[in-house]
């Protein structure tokens, strides 16, 4: 097991370096000078040169990358051009909010997804299967930002049951575990849960169908095991893959929440990215994307290791 | 898996090079195959329905400049946000008093163009990368596929938004960003299918009978891998449509006053308290196209007997 973990780590290292290169180059992909957004139009050539030197933009690219990586490894993601505050603090606050929303959404999606998936897989080609599969296709096909708008239209604008935007009643930037904040969480979390629900339902349906058609299930039934006992075996066989898909979905939601967070004005990373893009705050853009991508890489690694630990059949090579 | 394209030389023993006539591989896409797929698709009512919806929306979008009931760009300050069923505006009017039906029809052009183009480009680029990596193998495969792995470390929505955010708003930049999102995904599928095909006996047979690498890739490999890659690519169109309109929804794609479904959804967000049904219409259009492509792709997958 330890050698397996070691091998995975060796495999992840080049990917992590690649991710850091992509994030670094992102700023240089941008048209014009990264500083043009903050310098006054009538800045003298001298001021521009001073600023370029201050931010290190006057050095060759590989040197800039090495210096940048060195600072990043020490936890310094630079300073936001728009606010003048350290990027790491801004991203840290936003990641917590996003993580709360994405985790709740993943759990809701997992609960409904496995339920629909099991129903569809158990009763293949029945009307129940078709209904469950239709819900799954809906989940992967609906533009979630539109679904968010529809939710606001129905539950806030028309029925007035739930608040349409923000993380809390006071417009605060942080979510807290109380009833008022919980009310703000419901709509975005349900909207977001539709994507993992569809993906997990499709996976579980295929898994259950596969497992049920295997010989050992016939053997279990032949020896007189009740339907509930068989169900337990199916769950045990489907769990590692289903949990792995759930873990990956959490990563996708955390990185892909920008559209839903924009619709609901949720103060998370998506919201931060949106602000960074439109204020052309490139250090903030670079920092948030680096943090999100690295989180995704580590999550993939964790899922990989956990899945192997859970499922003894997977070869630890 | 599509029916293996086999050459006549399969049964021929490996003769000395001089005796072997330069094999002109009889490249016949097994005549019944596509007919078989077509017949299977026609028996699938869901796929037919989805295909018809796609065809209708594409036709309306293409013909829209000639068939819109009103000028999609001309607004009226006095007749803003009319409800659905208004005598003049069948599907209501938007926040600037422009006819929703006409705008939805014209918007389909840009939305479909921006959703489908990245997948076509990624299909071409990704297949090329994947087939080369899979066929050549060795260190080239390692370099190409490890580079691809780096892009898999980004969730696709994040990568699309990061790239178009850095490049700046615009139709061209949005298409470039989305292409970059899909190239690695298609390349990975193409690589794994090609690696499988390369180990088949009929590839060895073709090589032994003297076919050049180029010929083998053109006949044995392409003939067998393009089907599965194509099915995979069609399943990406739905995601691509949602992402492309999503970029415009964020203000990173199409710029006003040009109509596009995602952008319309964004500008109508302010109207959800006044006229919610009209505000939700553009999203319904995206949803309809996206689900139709998903259902059609599912039908195509089972008709072509491609495994996930």
CB-CB neighbors (< 8 A) of A300 in chain B: 153
Per the CB < 8 Å rule, is A30 touching B242? no
Per the CB < 8 Å rule, is B165 touching A273? yes
Number of domains into which chain A is organized: 1
Per the CB < 8 Å rule, is B162 touching A31? no
CB neighbours (10 Å) of residue B219?
21
Closest CB from A29, A152, A259 relative to B272 = A152
d(CA A39, CA A48): 8
Cβ neighbours of residue B80 closer than 8 Å, sequence gap 6 or more: B93, B94, B95, B96, B97
The answer to whether B150 and B95 are in contact (CB under 8 A) is no
Nearest chain A residue (CA) to B247: A259
Query: Of A127, A227, A137, nearest to A235 (Cα)?
Result: A227
Q: Is the dihedral of CA A139, A143, A148, A152 positive or negative?
A: negative
CB-CB neighbors (< 8 A) of A157 in chain B: 272-273, 276
Q: Give yes or no for A53 touching B (CB within 8 A).
A: no
Q: Give yes or no for B295 touching A (CB within 8 A).
A: yes
* Residue from A19, A23, A143 to probe the interface with B (highest B Cβ count within 10 Å): A143
Give a yes or no: residue A122 inside a domain. Answer: yes
Per the CB < 8 Å rule, is A292 touching B155? yes
d(CA A241, CA A314): 11
The answer to whether B291 and B238 are in contact (CB under 8 A) is yes
d(CA B308, CA B302): 10
CATH of B33-70+91-303, one of 1.20.1740.10, 2.30.29.30, 1.10.3720.10, 1.10.357.140: 1.10.3720.10
> Which secondary structure element, helix H or strand E, spans residue A203, and what is its range?
helix A179-212
**Residue B93 three-state SS:** strand
CB-CB neighbors (< 8 A) of A16 in chain B: 153
Q: Give yes or no for A165 touching B (CB within 8 A).
A: no
CB-CB neighbors (< 8 A) of A283 in chain B: none
Closest CB from B146, B251, B272 relative to A14 = B146
Burial of B139 from C-beta contacts in 10 A (0-12 / 13-18 / 19+): exposed
Cβ neighbours of residue B66 closer than 8 Å, sequence gap 6 or more: none
The answer to whether B3 and B200 are in contact (CB under 8 A) is no
Supply φ then ψ for residue A86, to 5 degrees: -60, 135
Per-residue model confidence (pLDDT) at position B121: 95
Per-residue model confidence (pLDDT) at position B7: 42
Q: Give yes or no for A300 touching B (CB within 8 A).
A: yes
**Residue A86 three-state SS:** strand
Nearest chain A residue (CA) to B294: A141
HSE (side-chain half, CA atoms, 13 Å) at B104: 24
Nearest chain A residue (CA) to B153: A297
Per the CB < 8 Å rule, is B153 touching A293? yes
Question: Which B positions 167-186 lie with beta carbon below 8 A of chain A?
Answer: 167-168
Per the CB < 8 Å rule, is A30 touching B147? no
Per the CB < 8 Å rule, is A137 touching B165? no
Closest CB from A18, A142, A277 relative to B150 = A18
Per-residue model confidence (pLDDT) at position A317: 45
* Residue from A141, A158, A291, A300 to probe the interface with B (highest B Cβ count within 10 Å): A141
Per-residue model confidence (pLDDT) at position B185: 92
HSE (side-chain half, CA atoms, 13 Å) at B30: 14
The answer to whether B80 and B93 are in contact (CB under 8 A) is yes
Q: Could you tell me the two tokens for B270?
A: 């302010």
Q: Give yes or no for A206 touching B (CB within 8 A).
A: yes
Q: Could you tell me the two tokens for B210?
A: 């003297």
CB-CB neighbors (< 8 A) of A293 in chain B: 153-154, 158
Closest CB from B157, B269, B284 relative to A255 = B157
Cβ neighbours of residue A312 closer than 8 Å, sequence gap 6 or more: none
Per the CB < 8 Å rule, is A27 touching B308? no
Give a yes or no: residue A37 inside a domain. Answer: no
Task: List the alpha helices (DSSP H) in A30-126.
Answer: 45-55, 61-73, 87-122
pLDDT tens-digit series, residues B222-239: 878 888 888 889 889 999
Q: Could you tell me the two tokens for A164?
A: 């349409």
CB-CB neighbors (< 8 A) of A27 in chain B: 166
Per-residue model confidence (pLDDT) at position B3: 45
Give a yes or no: residue A185 inside a domain. Answer: yes
Task: List the alpha helices (DSSP H) in chain B.
Answer: 32-42, 45-67, 100-136, 138-152, 156-167, 171-198, 201-208, 213-216, 222-250, 261-267, 276-303
Q: Give yes or no for A134 touching B (CB within 8 A).
A: no
What CATH number does the domain containing A204 carry? 1.10.3720.10
Domain ranges of chain B: 33-70+91-303
pTM above 0.90, yes or no: no
The residues facing A86 across adjacent strands are A79
State which residues form the domain around A188: 96-316
CB neighbours (10 Å) of residue A2?
7
Per the CB < 8 Å rule, is A255 touching B154? yes
ipTM of the complex: 0.82
Nearest chain B residue (CA) to A147: B283
Q: Could you tell me the two tokens for A94?
A: 């936003």
**Residue A176 three-state SS:** coil
Per the CB < 8 Å rule, is A157 touching B163? no
Nearest chain A residue (CA) to B273: A157
Per-residue model confidence (pLDDT) at position B180: 92
Cα of A23 to nearest chain B Cα, Å: 9
Q: Give yes or no for A30 touching B (CB within 8 A).
A: yes
Q: Give yes or no for B283 touching A (CB within 8 A).
A: yes
d(CA B291, CA B295): 6
Query: Of A292, A282, A296, nearest to A68 (Cα)?
Result: A282
Regions of chain A with pLDDT less than 70: 1, 30-41, 43, 55-56, 167-177, 179-180, 312-317
Q: Give yes or no for B15 touching A (CB within 8 A).
A: no
pLDDT tens for the 308 residues of chain B, in order: 444 444 444 444 444 444 444 455 555 555 567 777 888 888 888 888 888 999 998 988 888 788 777 777 777 766 776 777 777 767 777 777 677 778 888 888 889 999 999 999 999 999 999 989 988 888 988 888 888 888 888 888 888 888 888 888 888 989 999 999 999 999 999 988 888 888 888 888 888 888 788 888 777 788 788 888 888 898 899 999 999 999 988 888 888 778 888 888 888 887 777 778 877 888 898 999 999 998 998 888 888 876 54
The answer to whether B218 and B24 are in contact (CB under 8 A) is no
Question: Which A positions 83-122 lie with beta carbon below 8 A of chain B?
Answer: none
CB-CB neighbors (< 8 A) of B150 in chain A: 15, 18-19, 21-22
């Amino acid at each position: 097991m330890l050698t397996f973990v070691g091998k995975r780590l060796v495999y992840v290292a080049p990917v992590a370096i690649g991710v850091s290169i992509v994030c670094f180059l992102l700023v240089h992909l941008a048209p014009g000078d990264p500083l043009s957004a903050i310098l006054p139009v009538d800045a003298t050539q001298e001021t521009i040169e001073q600023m370029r030197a201050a931010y290190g933009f006057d050095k060759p690219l590989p040197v800039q990358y090495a210096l940048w990586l060195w600072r990043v490894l020490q936890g310094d993601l630079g300073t936001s051009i728009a606010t003048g505050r350290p990027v790491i603090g801004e991203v840290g606050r936003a990641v917590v909010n996003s993580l709360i929303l994405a985790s709740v959404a993943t759990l809701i999606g997992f609960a409904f997804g496995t339920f629909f998936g099991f129903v569809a897989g158990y009763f293949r080609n029945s009307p129940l299967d078709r209904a469950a599969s239709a819900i799954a296709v809906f989940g992967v096909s609906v533009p979630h930002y539109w679904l968010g708008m529809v939710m606001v239209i129905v539950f806030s604008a028309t029925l007035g049951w739930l608040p349409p935007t923000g993380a809390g009643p006071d417009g605060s930037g942080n979510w807290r575990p109380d009833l008022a904040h919980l009310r703000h969480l419901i709509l975005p979390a349900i909207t977001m849960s539709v994507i993992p629900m569809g993906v997990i339902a499709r996976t579980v349906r295929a898994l259950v169908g596969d497992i049920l058609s295997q010989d050992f299930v016939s053997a279990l039934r032949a020896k007189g095991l009740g339907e509930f006992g068989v169900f337990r075996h199916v769950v045990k066989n489907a769990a590692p893959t289903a949990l792995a898909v759930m873990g990956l979905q959490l990563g996708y939601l955390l990185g892909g929440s920008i559209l839903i967070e924009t619709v609901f004005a949720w103060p998370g990373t998506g919201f931060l990215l949106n602000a960074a893009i439109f204020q052309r705050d490139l250090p903030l853009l670079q920092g948030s994307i680096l943090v999100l991508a690295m989180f995704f890489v580590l999550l993939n690694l964790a899922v990989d290791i956990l899945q192997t630990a859970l499922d003894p059949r997977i070869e630890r090579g | 898996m599509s029916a293996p394209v086999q050459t006549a030389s399969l049964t021929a023993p490996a003769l000395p090079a001089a005796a072997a006539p330069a094999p002109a591989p009889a490249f016949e896409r097994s005549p019944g195959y596509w007919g078989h797929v077509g017949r299977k698709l026609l028996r699938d009512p869901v796929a037919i329905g989805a295909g018809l919806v796609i065809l209708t929306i594409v036709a309306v979008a293409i013909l829209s400049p000639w068939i819109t009931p009103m000028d999609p760009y001309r607004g009226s300050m006095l007749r803003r946000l009319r409800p659905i069923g208004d005598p003049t505006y069948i599907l209501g009017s938007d926040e600037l008093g422009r006819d929703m039906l006409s705008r939805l029809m014209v918007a389909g052009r840009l939305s479909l163009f921006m959703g489908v183009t990245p997948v076509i480009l990624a299909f071409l680029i990704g297949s090329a990368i994947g087939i080369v990596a899979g066929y050549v193998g060795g260190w080239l495969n390692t370099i190409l596929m490890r580079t691809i792995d780096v892009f898999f470390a980004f969730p696709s929505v994040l990568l699309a938004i990061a790239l178009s955010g850095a490049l700046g708003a615009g139709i061209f930049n949005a298409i470039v960003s989305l292409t970059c999102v899909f190239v690695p995904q298609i390349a990975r599928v193409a690589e794994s299918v090609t690696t499988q095909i390369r180990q088949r006996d009929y590839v060895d047979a073709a090589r032994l009978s003297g076919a050049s690498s180029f010929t083998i890739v053109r006949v044995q490999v392409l003939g067998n891998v393009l089907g599965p890659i194509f099915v995979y690519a069609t399943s990406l169109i739905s995601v691509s449509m949602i992402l492309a309109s999503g970029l415009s929804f964020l203000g990173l794609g199409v710029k006003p006053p040009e109509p596009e479904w995602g952008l319309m959804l964004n500008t109508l967000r302010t109207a959800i308290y006044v006229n919610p049904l009209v505000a939700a219409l553009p999203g319904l259009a995206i949803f309809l196209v996206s689900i139709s492509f998903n259902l059609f792709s599912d039908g195509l997958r089972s008709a072509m007997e491609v495994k996930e």
